[in-house]
Structure 1
Amino acid sequence: MADSQIQMRKLWEPENPKKTLAYQFMQTANRKRNRGLQTWEDLHTWSVDHRSEFWEEVFQQYPIIHSGSYKRVVDEHARMDSVPAWFEGVKVNFAENVLFSPDPQDPSKACQNRKRDGAIAVTEVREGCTEIRHYSWREIRERVGLLANAMRARGVKKGDRVAIVASNSTDTLTVFYAVTSLGGIFSSSSTDMGTRGVLDRLQQTRPKYVFVDDWALYNGKTVDLRPKMIEIEAGMKDIPELKGLVAMPRWQNKPADISSVPKGETLASFLQAAKGDTTLRFERIDFRDPFIIVYSSGTTGMPKCLVHSTGGVLLNSRKESNLHRDAFAQDPEESCTLQYTTTGWIMYLMACTSMLTGTRAILYDGSPFLPDLTAFIKLVGEQRVTDLGISPRFMQTLASAKPPVSPKEVTDLSHLRRVMSTGMVLSEAQFEWFYDQGFPKHVQLCNISGGTDVAACFTMDTLMKPLYVGGTMTPALGMKIEVYDQEIEGGKGIKGRPVPVGQPGELVCTRAFPTMPIKFWGDESGEKYFNAYFARFDDVWTHGDFITIHPQNRQIYLHGRADGVLNPSGVRFGSAEIYNVLDANFGEEIQDSICPGRKFTQELVKRVKDAIARDVGRRCVPKYVFETPEIPTTINLKKVELPVKQIVSGKVIKPSDTLANKDCLKYYYQFAKVEDLIQPRSKL
């Protein structure tokens, strides 16, 4: 854990904070609202203490295409657990805002500002940096119009669900924008998810159509997905809402024969219902109305189906892209976002919303490490990517390679502005590697945290402050995050207790924000929603992360999940503290590690113990360290601790299909009786 009394090393700082959009935004707000905002801290304080003023200013300075009007922004006196409505009376459409921009003179009208017909909107790249195809804004609009009109002819309307089980491709993107153009609700699963995991989602959301890739390619292997289509159809036989499955060709102009799928048809057949009509017609819906359902990982039970509002996500994207990252200050045709993600992760939504500013989006499907570890990085240089999204695991793979891969030595990264990292805790050693060996000094490393639950960041980057080693730079604007004492048992009606700055505790948000899920699908009483976020502390969103706010630089240090907190000898610390030590001291000897919340030991134990005692504390030293053949991860490569913790604590669990390697959990059952296990061995 970062010592709160030590000023961490400065790694990066902005060239001129007073030239940022955030600073301009403050000056406009000062004139209009008689404020005296001068610093980033001033702006954040105003954004959470005067939420109506702040969000209205975002709405006015960075408008979205909309119609209607509002009498108030939000009821600031409403309880947070009532999930208050925002901008009631305003109507919007997600796809319309992606495909067009608001007319500067009249935001109820759409125009092609920053999204001209001939400019490239999307670049599709398949595994190994092959099959690269560019699509203009005009082509994307025509593709969406054609599919939307086919859906309309097949009866898809406002509120209907349409799901995909598909890769990160232009076809998938087209489905997303087509269904939302109609006011429908989109949801997605990746092709590498097991059929049971897919059905756990689809049986809850009951879509009208499911679009499925006919083949998948990952890590050099092709997989026929027609058997999965048959299994999905069989699993949905009692869902009357389902009208059919649509097979999307993985290889252009080579659709698979799907005659074995009774309710299946090809995409080409489905599109015939449009009769060639590519005209776009947008159904504007209430600001609060849903446009997407995303899912919790489901690693410890049925996945939660989180329903997000159209207006909330649109407005938050305006805030993050401009006030945190200066998007509208950049030439859209010189801006390009590449977010490495599957369609089953919330970062897929983030990749799609990058197009709201006119930025070109690169959709990459497959392993980023084929044909070798340099290919993906070379793509970043060749495509002049400005915003790159990866994970700590990606960086670890490059840094621990033999020989190590240094991206700045592989390709020209002069166009790269920032690298976003999320999915798991980014260790302090990785911060150091990023600037010392990995990337050019001008690139901003943006460690972000938020997630599926909020479709937004709780903590992220800013262009108005320096970056120091570890953690994330700042609470996101409009997010009133605090650190509560994790030792309080909590319960309905129990008030939480903030801890002093510099002490670790549980991340909570104490004011409502626009991207709170409007509900869980199928949770009519709201009980599951309440229990997920509000049952621990009264009228406060409990997010489940274990964090510290540094008293000097005010960065937020992430220590792992609160339910994975370790507590030997009464000292509470996060699993990330152990991972930090192992990454910094044993990168070449330990490929990966996991801290499930049990004490353990192994051959490197003395040096590991010494390093942990030195860097974390003597009472945090593990008693047992065992070698394990495989670390459980989700399909998105997030390290999974809670199922392991449950297993070694003596519980028998049902592995989730959202795990990439669920069979490896069997290995951990032997540690439920660790004392018996080590008797034949020498205790260390």
Structure 2
Amino acid sequence: MEYMSEEPNLLWKPADEIKQQANLSSYMHWLQQEKDVHMETQAELWDWSVNHLEDFWASIWQYMQIQASEPYTQVLASRQMPGAEWFVGARLNYVEQVFRHATPDRPALLFRSETGPLQEVSWQELQHKVGAVANGLKALGVGVGDRVVAYVRNNIEAVIAFLACASIGAIWSSCAPDFGTKSVADRFQQIEPCVLFATDGYRYNGKLQDRRSTVAELRQALPTLRKTILIPSIYEAPDLTNDADMLLWNELLASDTTLTCTQVAFNHPLWVLYSSGTTGLPKAIVHSQGGILLEHVKFLHLHMDLKPEDRFFWYTTTGWMMWNLLVGGLLVGSTILLYDGCPNYPDIGGLWNLVQEAGITVFGTSAGYLTACMKAEITPGQTYQLTQLRALGSTGSPLPPEGFRWVYQAVKQDLWLASISGGTDVCSAFLGGSILLPVYAGEIQTRVLGAKLEAFDELGRPVINTVGELVLTEPLPSMPLYFWNDPQGKRHRESYFASYPGIWRHGDWIELTSRGSAIISGRSDSTINRKGIRMGSSEIYRAVEDLPEVVDSLVIGVELPDGAYYMPLFVVLKDAQPLTEDVSKKIKTKLRSTISPHYVPDAVVAVHEIPRTLSGKKLEVPVKKLFMGLPLEKVVSLDTLSNPHAFDDFIRIAAQFRTTNGSAVSN
């Protein structure tokens, strides 16, 4: 690997040895030898993959040696969206693909909590425990298509429970224990589960969080439950003599350990994930066993370059799709690390210390964590031994160019930085890394293979080097089968296909560059449209948060009844300093000089925190709706936020604004 300094935006390019050892290179060589398909570059490979969908996905099936008890008769029976039919006739099981990699040479799982030692789980132990829990579930009457839900920590038991569930053809769904009762009930009630896995509590940032009362409330809120399986984590196991509807985890582990994987159709549901639910009931998104299996082996093997000898870690909880993707590391034989705790415990370098301790080779985190480390001016490369770390992943929000540069200055020069962007909707990425390509500051390296992604202008035409709507014009196997309790598919169509019938609109602004990379400019549904000029919020954030005084920021644009437009910028200042006229002027000057006078806000307002979802996304649209006069209960579900108290400032400021300007909407 080489560190580049001759071009200001070119930060890294792979050495020839890295290219030769890359999974992508092996795959292209295989295509040449086995399929007589010749490609020399990533761009040529992507072009072939999206213009020959059937051939591409059939090659992934064969190259990754997908096990199936019955072969498919057709790769893609229908290309329409929604409703594409993939790998018709195939019968398989996700869990079989996991355990075909079982080996005594490497552990399957690593786990650490905030306070405990690093634990290892062998492939054999994992397989035996998955078999025991699967047989225990079957003894409880759980079968194909039944829903099993989990209110659990990101730990070993969570992975075992999920794999056990998938192995018998049941449908999994999980929430992290930092979700409140209403938030969890809003999700789980939709799918009528028969079994609940639950934890009694967890530790976060050094503090004990008791969840026993929440579990009791959930049991009352989920009338379809037949059993609750308690996983004692913090407290001693309770006496269940008088509670016939609850079992202890160890009782399941006492079952027969023989693992038998039930064969299911390619499009049989694997799990239900949920949209953020910041407004309205969360969408219950159903993904298929086969679709997720193929998408994850493709993305993790080819785009994250994961190999069996890798130790793979992404900081996540069981309530974020990155947990599902992390578990997918087992599909390619990698060892995965589970961490249950705060990323900043005992200090902001906590995750870097964990990377050192566990010998992580591929480390994924959020852009927010990386920018927080940058703001804190830490130097992980000097403080920790990161010699084994070869790749760093970033997602959750756009990583600004300054964040890219900080990685190469403060973490490691010989490091591949793979920024990715996708969504819960497909439980994967549309845009991601390629270890064959250089890394440019602020840019995602490539569109992922098999994803026919375009940027559409206002007339629905593909554009290059211009910001447009992120759309997919061809189907992916991991697109939702459907939404639960949406029998006519109305909500499903409205979510993705209302703007362009038959074409997936994701809701992001994107610029595709002439060299094949991409820049995400924020959510298109929170677009700033000032004097007819549309702009994404991320450019503003990059400029403002580059100032040493600013820790975080949020911008909105509000259409007023008289036709005027109000664009305030909210900032969180370092060390809770007061907002002075000098700082406000400095912010406006920065935006005027580095971007455009159109980006200068009408007001700069200091707040204590920027409200974010549990996965770290800024809540621009709910804040905008507050200023438009909508009440808080119609704007956001506070249970879905990582910091619900952050709305206190915005409620007060929005009320003052409406008193002065009047409501922007009719109540």
TM-score, normalised relative to structure 2: 0.91
Q: What's 1:643 paired with?
A: 622
1:258 deviates by 6.2
1:270 deviates by 4.4
Inter-CA distance 664–372: structure 2 relative to 1 (3 Å threshold): closer
1-structure distance, mates of 2:294, 2:136: 29
Report the secondary structure of 1:163's partner residue.
strand
Map 1:178-217; keep pairs closer than 5 Å.
Answer: 178-217=164-203
Q: What's 2:114 paired with?
A: 127
> Does structure 1 residue 23 correspond to structure 2 residue 30?
no
Deviations 1:67-113 (A, max 9, x none): 2122221036x3222x2111111111112211x22xxxxxxxxxxxx
Q: What's 1:427 paired with?
A: 400
> Does structure 1 residue 399 correspond to structure 2 residue 374?
yes
Map 1:55-454; keep pairs closer than 5 Å.
Answer: 55-75=57-77, 78-81=79-82, 83-98=83-98, 100-101=99-100, 114-117=101-104, 119-128=106-115, 130-237=116-223, 241-251=224-234, 254-256=236-238, 263-272=245-254, 274=255, 277-327=256-306, 330=307, 332=308, 334-401=309-376, 404-437=377-410, 439-454=411-426
8 Å CA contact 1:233–1:263 kept in 2: the answer is no
Deviations 1:320-339 (A, max 9, x none): 12222333xx4x2x410111
2-structure distance, mates of 1:34, 1:352: 34
Report the secondary structure of 2:229's partner residue.
strand
2-structure distance, mates of 1:368, 1:428: 22
Inter-CA distance 256–127: structure 2 relative to 1 (3 Å threshold): farther
Map 1:520-539; keep pairs closer than 5 Å.
Answer: 520-539=483-502
Identify unmatched segments of 5+ residues in structure 2.
1-6, 559-566, 570-578, 662-667
2-structure distance, mates of 1:22, 1:506: 29
2-structure distance, mates of 1:231, 1:566: 42
2-structure distance, mates of 1:63, 1:32: 14
2:593 pairs with 614, 626, 629, which one? 614
Report the secondary structure of 2:528's partner residue.
coil
Inter-CA distance 18–336: structure 2 relative to 1 (3 Å threshold): closer
Letter in 1 for 2:469: E
8 Å CA contact 1:671–1:677 kept in 2: the answer is no
1-structure distance, mates of 2:341, 2:33: 50
1-structure distance, mates of 2:244, 2:617: 36
Inter-CA distance 259–473: structure 2 relative to 1 (3 Å threshold): farther
1:44 deviates by 0.4
2-structure distance, mates of 1:619, 1:262: 65
2-structure distance, mates of 1:139, 1:675: 60
1:668 pairs with 620, 628, 650, which one? 650
8 Å CA contact 2:320–2:615 kept in 1: the answer is yes
- Provide the alpha-carbon RMSD of the alignment: 2.0
2-structure distance, mates of 1:375, 1:32: 46
8 Å CA contact 2:132–2:252 kept in 1: the answer is no
Inter-CA distance 675–164: structure 2 relative to 1 (3 Å threshold): closer
1:375 deviates by 3.3
8 Å CA contact 2:557–2:568 kept in 1: the answer is no
Q: What's 1:547 paired with?
A: 510
Map 1:4-19; keep pairs closer than 5 Å.
Answer: 9-16=9-16, 17-19=19-21
1-structure distance, mates of 2:109, 2:25: 31
1:673 deviates by 5.9
Q: What's 1:593 paired with?
A: 553
Question: % of aligned pairs identical?
Answer: 34
Inter-CA distance 69–641: structure 2 relative to 1 (3 Å threshold): same
Report the secondary structure of 2:555's partner residue.
coil
1-structure distance, mates of 2:33, 2:431: 28
Deviations 1:495-549 (A, max 9, x none): x333x31111110000011111111111111111111111111210000001111
1:423 deviates by 0.7
1:676 deviates by 6.7
Inter-CA distance 233–501: structure 2 relative to 1 (3 Å threshold): same
Letter in 2 for 1:531: E
1-structure distance, mates of 2:243, 2:549: 49
> Does structure 1 residue 460 correspond to structure 2 residue 435?
no
1-structure distance, mates of 2:408, 2:660: 42
8 Å CA contact 1:163–1:209 kept in 2: the answer is yes
2-structure distance, mates of 1:597, 1:359: 45
8 Å CA contact 2:193–2:222 kept in 1: the answer is no
1-structure distance, mates of 2:501, 2:330: 38
> Does structure 1 residue 624 correspond to structure 2 residue 603?
yes
Report the secondary structure of 1:665's partner residue.
helix
Report the secondary structure of 2:203's partner residue.
strand
Inter-CA distance 154–568: structure 2 relative to 1 (3 Å threshold): same
Report the secondary structure of 1:131's partner residue.
coil
Report the secondary structure of 2:551's partner residue.
coil
8 Å CA contact 1:634–1:660 kept in 2: the answer is yes
8 Å CA contact 2:129–2:257 kept in 1: the answer is yes
1:372 deviates by 2.2
8 Å CA contact 1:150–1:271 kept in 2: the answer is yes
Letter in 1 for 2:288: S
Report the secondary structure of 1:41's partner residue.
helix
Count of residues in Structure 1 that have an aligned counterpart in Structure 2: 631
Report the secondary structure of 2:618's partner residue.
coil
Inter-CA distance 265–556: structure 2 relative to 1 (3 Å threshold): same
Letter in 1 for 2:167: S
Q: What's 2:540 paired with?
A: 578
Letter in 2 for 1:74: L
8 Å CA contact 2:74–2:89 kept in 1: the answer is no
8 Å CA contact 2:568–2:605 kept in 1: the answer is yes
Q: What's 1:659 paired with?
A: 641
Report the secondary structure of 1:511's partner residue.
coil
8 Å CA contact 1:548–1:557 kept in 2: the answer is yes
1:256 deviates by 4.1
8 Å CA contact 1:481–1:507 kept in 2: the answer is yes
- Greater mean alpha carbon deviation, residues 46-55 or residues 602-611: 602-611
Identify unmatched segments of 5+ residues in structure 1.
1-6, 102-113, 489-495, 680-684
Higher strand share: 2
Deviations 1:180-215 (A, max 9, x none): 110111110000001000000111011111111012
8 Å CA contact 1:427–1:583 kept in 2: the answer is no
Report the secondary structure of 1:300's partner residue.
coil
Report the secondary structure of 2:272's partner residue.
strand
2-structure distance, mates of 1:431, 1:235: 45
Q: What's 1:493 paired with?
A: none
TM-score, normalised relative to structure 1: 0.89
Inter-CA distance 642–58: structure 2 relative to 1 (3 Å threshold): same
2-structure distance, mates of 1:522, 1:362: 35
8 Å CA contact 1:230–1:261 kept in 2: the answer is no
Deviations 1:158-188 (A, max 9, x none): 1111111010011111110111110111110
1-structure distance, mates of 2:135, 2:334: 26
2-structure distance, mates of 1:377, 1:185: 35
2-structure distance, mates of 1:145, 1:309: 22
1:249 deviates by 1.0
1:265 deviates by 3.0
